[in-house]
């Protein structure tokens, strides 16, 4: 991985269809609805961020690529995993405890090039909502947060398209009607040409570094009450270092949705989806020949109902919205399949999951609104592969060979959810909420960031579901004309049965994943402040988060509480967007995070000719503070031309500088011995200094 990191550092420095009543399908509608400070005041759900795609993708971005995942990291309570990662952490949870949904199908690795780029092309996106732990009952499968992204539908009135060329990648979009005013098609594709640059280099011509992603969406209005949507998404990455490593991973999701409208905004929606994440890695380094594969496959059938009962004219009956649903899923998770030298091992398991939920949102009176729900989850690991018991010393005590499709164990989880919002005045609100969440897919990492070498396992006869309880409250204020709004939220989160590696163990120590880990508990708490300016030439926000995140596991750190890998005390985000005129827009973002916790050796001793490190405390040290200032300028120009009819062609230049004052932030801290081993020093590795970028976009 050090060779891979070095290579990366070297390369990188060179009428439309009727509106979907569940989630908005058109980008133009998102910009209107999510631009309202009043929405943040009136939403009953605390900790929910309805995301304005236009503002988030306007923030300065690495390498000139607009990236919704990196923009989400600028929100209060949300943190980036590292300087090189598009994954995010929310309120003390890790990115593996989040769920990212694209048209309801989960995407398990949302990054390209180990997280440098998001897997989502913003040209394919319509809307997104981030739930920071307090989830409505229709969401589950995550003990921390859910990011629900809706893909955009194509234009039904005429054919349009666009293209973009940047320093490292290019992309294109084509959309238009298949049947005018009845059906449309949207296709977006993106690919990097970094591999072509490597081929032109004498030193790196035998290396490969590229990614691509493709989005396709079809929508069809059958009649006034019925709509069909078909979504396809795929992404693929490959990083190959000559004779050292060949690392590949990719995502694929397919989604078919039928939406039926009833009267009074009620509807039923049936969704079938497939999600597949695969990784295939080979490493030949220091005479260690390792070939490693893994995958997560999920097939689901989901039924949603939404029943809206409007209020009566005399207000004797207040409005009520009930959302209920069912979902059944089949899981197939390959924790690992590898060959190390001449030793071959494989662990792969299957499971069946069934979920039901109901959630009601209602007015108790004109200024008091509540949302109450319950989610019930039954997760059943299935036979057909080996299960076992683990002795206290970590050895396998007994094997169980269940028949194929035989239920090994049933994990039943009840997840109550509740939120209440009181508006004492039209410009203020006070919200309180509680939610229990759980997840049955567990990720194990040697480091604090996600990589293709992460191992995944499901709840089993030994591993229990992760369950989290979160309490949250907040005060929200806006000015009468919604020019400004302010918020303060506090939260406390407890999590049980969270997994961590035993001391001295790593992902390849054993094929049986339960032998590598111990289960324990965690807690996180903090406060989030945000001030937004919503109108005028200058818009943006300032966010500050003060937080703590701790873990306690018997057998690790002497059974005492220790700071979690993602514990950072202070986070500050300042984002500004200035529209000079119709052509020029200037953007800036400053990010500050206090140092992240990490484990350092407390001493060392010598055994024969080898020096062995001694670790007295887990995550007892802090990395240096992390901060950078990014700026960008966008120049737009639109012209008219004749092609049988008048059409508008818009061109756009995007100039950016990432990390304008050239701060070298810590990415990796390694400990190195002197030649005779008498001295040890910590050495910091950084990925980026200052990175300028330019991109050209055209839309027609």
DSSP 87-116: -EEETT--GGGEEEEETTEE-S--EEGGGT
Structure-model confidence comparison of residues 509 and 370, the more confident one: 370
Looking at residues 69-76, what average pLDDT do you find? 83
Contact by Cβ (8 Å): 382, 406: yes
- Answer whether 451's CB lies under 8 Å from 11's CB: no
pTM for this entry: 0.87
Is 4 inside any structural domain? no
pLDDT tens-digit map of 113-142: 766 778 888 888 888 888 987 889 999 999
Q: Quick check: is 5 in a domain? A: no
**Angle, CA 152 vertex, CA 309 and CA 233 arms, to 5°:** 115
Query: Which tops the pLDDT comparison, 412 or 673?
Result: 412
In a domain, 7, yes or no: no
Q: How far apart are CA 8 and CA 442, in angstroms?
A: 28
pLDDT above 80 (res 317): no
Using CA atoms of 498, 501, 502, 503 in order, give the dihedral in degrees to the nearest 10.
-130
Q: How confident is the model at residue 556 (pLDDT cuts 50, 70, 90)?
A: confident
Confidence label for 239 from pLDDT (cuts 50, 70 and 90):
confident
Q: Identify the domain containing residue 158 by its residue range.
A: 15-699
For tokens 């035998």, name the residue: 206
Supply the pLDDT for residue 625.
Answer: 87
What pLDDT, in 10s, does the model give residues 13-39? 333 333 333 333 333 322 223 346 888
Segment 550-560 mean pLDDT: 85
Q: First CA to last CA across the chain, in angstroms?
A: 43
Backbone region of residue 83 per phi and psi (left: phi > 0; alpha: psi in -120 to 50; beta: other values): alpha
Beta strands in 386-483 (DSSP E): 386-390, 396-401, 411-425, 428-439, 441-444, 455-458, 466-478
pLDDT value at 229 more than 90? yes
pLDDT in tens, 139-155: 999 988 999 999 989 99
Average pLDDT over residues 650-655: 88
Report the range of poorest mean pLDDT among 84-93, 146-155, 326-335.
84-93
Mean pLDDT of 401-425: 93
Please report whether residue 393 resides in a domain.
Answer: yes
Q: What is the rounded average pLDDT for all residues in the chain?
A: 83
Indicate if the pLDDT at residue 410 is higher than 90.
Answer: yes
Between residues 2 and 202, the one the model is more confident about: 202
Predicted pLDDT of residue 282: 77
Tell me the pLDDT band of 450, cut-offs 50, 70 and 90. low
Residue 448 confidence (pLDDT) above 70? no
Lowest-pLDDT choice from 186-190, 265-269, 453-457 = 453-457
Taking the CB of residue 405, how many other CB atoms lie within 10 A of it?
A: 11
Rounded Cα distance between 490 and 134, Å, is 12
pLDDT over 70 (residue 446): no
Give the span between the Cα atoms of 480 and 650, in whole angstroms.
Answer: 36
Percent of the chain predicted with pLDDT > 70: 87
| pLDDT for 32 | 26
The confidence score (pLDDT) of residue 685 equals 75
The CATH number of the domain where 613 resides is what?
2.40.170.20
Cβ atoms 183, 153 nearer than 8 A = no
Quick check: is 614 in a domain?
Answer: yes
Q: Tell me the per-residue pLDDT of 388-400, one tens digit each, with 9 for 90 and over.
A: 888 887 788 888 8
In this predicted structure, which of 96-105, 309-318, 597-606 has the lowest mean pLDDT? 309-318
Number of domains forming the structure of the chain? 1
Mean pLDDT of the 360-371 span: 90
Is 596 within a domain?
yes
Residue 389 lies in a domain: yes
Res. 572 pLDDT band, cuts 50 70 90 = very high
In a domain, 441, yes or no: yes
Instruction: Report the pLDDT value the prediction gives residue 2, as an integer from 0 to 100.
Output: 37
Position with higher pLDDT, 300 vs 48: 300
Mean pLDDT of the 466-493 span: 93
Question: What pLDDT score was predicted for residue 313?
Answer: 62
Q: What is the pLDDT of residue 115?
A: 67
Following CA atoms 41, 42, 46, 50 in sequence, which dihedral angle do they give, to the nearest 10 degrees? Answer: -80
Question: How many C-beta neighbours within 10 Å does residue 125 have?
Answer: 23
Overall average pLDDT of the 495-499 stretch = 90
Q: What is the rounded distance in angstroms from the CA atom of residue 271 to the CA atom of residue 262?
A: 17
At 58, the pLDDT band (50, 70, 90 cuts) reads: low
Residue 22: per-residue pLDDT: 33
pLDDT at position 56, please?
56
Residue 643 pLDDT = 44
The predicted structure's pLDDT at residue 592: 92
**3-class secondary structure, 21:** coil
Task: Answer whether residue 469 shows pLDDT above 70.
Answer: yes
pLDDT at 234: 95
Residue 79, pLDDT > 90, answer: no
Query: For position 215, what pLDDT does the model report?
Result: 95
More confident call, 449 vs 620: 620
Residue 434: per-residue pLDDT: 95
Of 455, 468, 452, give the one whose Cα is nearest residue 98.
Answer: 468
């Amino acid at each position: 991985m050090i060779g891979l990191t070095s290579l990366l550092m070297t390369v990188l420095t060179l009428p439309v269809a009727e509106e979907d009543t569940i989630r908005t399908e058109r980008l133009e509608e998102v910009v209107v609805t999510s631009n309202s400070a009043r929405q943040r005041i009136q939403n009953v759900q605390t900790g929910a961020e309805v995301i304005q795609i236009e503002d988030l993708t306007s923030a300065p971005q690495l390498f000139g690529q607009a990236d919704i995942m990196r923009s989400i990291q600028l929100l209060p309570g949300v943190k980036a995993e590292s300087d090189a990662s598009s994954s995010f952490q929310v309120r003390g949870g890790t990115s593996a405890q989040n769920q990212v949904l694209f048209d309801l199908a989960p995407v398990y690795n949302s990054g390209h090039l180990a997280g440098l780029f998001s897997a989502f092309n913003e040209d394919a996106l319509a809307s997104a909502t981030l739930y920071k732990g307090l989830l409505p009952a229709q969401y589950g499968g995550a003990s921390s947060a859910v990011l629900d992204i809706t893909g955009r539908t194509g234009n039904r009135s005429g054919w349009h398209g666009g293209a973009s060329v940047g320093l490292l990648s290019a992309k294109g979009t084509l959309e238009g009607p298949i049947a005018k005013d009845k059906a449309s098609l949207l296709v977006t594709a993106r690919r990097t040409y970094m591999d072509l640059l490597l081929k032109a280099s004498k030193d790196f011509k035998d290396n490969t570094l590229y990614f691509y992603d493709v989005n396709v969406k079809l929508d069809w209005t059958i009649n006034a009450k019925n709509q069909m949507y078909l979504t396809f998404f795929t992404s693929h990455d490959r990083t190959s270092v000559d004779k050292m490593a060949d690392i590949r991973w990719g995502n694929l999701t397919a989604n078919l949705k039928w939406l039926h409208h009833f009267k009074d905004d009620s509807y039923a929606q049936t969704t079938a989806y497939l999600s597949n994440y695969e990784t295939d890695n080979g490493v030949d380094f220091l005479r260690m020949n390792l070939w490693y594969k893994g995958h997560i496959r999920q097939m689901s059938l989901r039924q949603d109902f939404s029943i809206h009962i409007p209020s009566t004219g005399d207000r004797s009956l207040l409005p009520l919205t009930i959302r209920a649903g069912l979902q059944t899923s089949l899981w197939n998770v390959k924790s690992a399949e590898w060959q190390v030298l001449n030793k071959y091992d494989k662990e792969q398991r299957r499971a069946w999951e069934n979920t039901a939920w109901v959630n009601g949102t209602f007015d108790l009176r004109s200024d008091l609104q509540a949302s109450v729900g319950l989610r019930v989850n039954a997760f059943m690991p299935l036979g057909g592969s080996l299960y076992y018991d683990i002795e206290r010393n970590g050895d396998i005590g007994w094997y169980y060979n269940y028949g194929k499709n035989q239920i090994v164990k049933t994990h039943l989880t009840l997840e109550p959810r509740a939120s209440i919002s009181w508006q004492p005045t039209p410009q203020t609100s006070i919200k309180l909420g509680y939610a229990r969440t759980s997840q049955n897919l567990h990720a194990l990492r040697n480091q604090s960031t996600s990589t293709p070498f992460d191992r995944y396992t499901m709840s089993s006869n030994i591993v229990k579901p992760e369950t989290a309880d979160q309490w949250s409250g907040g005060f929200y204020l806006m000015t009468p004309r919604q020019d400004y709004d302010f918020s303060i939220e506090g939260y406390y989160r407890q999590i049980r049965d969270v997994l961590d590696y035993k001391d001295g163990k790593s992902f390849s120590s054993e094929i049986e994943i339960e032998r590598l880990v111990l289960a324990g508990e965690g807690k996180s708490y903090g406060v989030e402040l945000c001030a937004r300016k919503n109108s005028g030439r200058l818009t943006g926000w300032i966010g500050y988060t003060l937080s703590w995140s701790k873990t306690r596991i018997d057998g690790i750190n002497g059974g005492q509480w220790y700071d979690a890998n993602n514990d950072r005390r202070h986070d500050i985000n300042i984002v500004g967007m200035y529209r000079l005129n119709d052509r020029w827009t200037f953007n800036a973002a400053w990010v500050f995070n206090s140092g992240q916790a990490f484990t350092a050796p407390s001493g060392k001793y010598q055994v024969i000719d080898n020096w062995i490190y001694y670790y007295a405390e887990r995550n007892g040290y802090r990395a240096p503070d992390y901060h950078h200032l990014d700026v960008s300028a966008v120049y737009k120009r639109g012209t008219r031309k004749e092609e049988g009819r008048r059409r508008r062609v818009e061109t756009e230049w995007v100039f950016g500088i990432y990390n304008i004052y050239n701060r070298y932030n810590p990415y990796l801290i390694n400990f190195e011995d002197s030649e005779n081993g008498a001295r040890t020093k910590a050495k910091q590795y950084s990925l980026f200094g200052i990175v300028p970028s330019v991109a050209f976009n055209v839309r027609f």
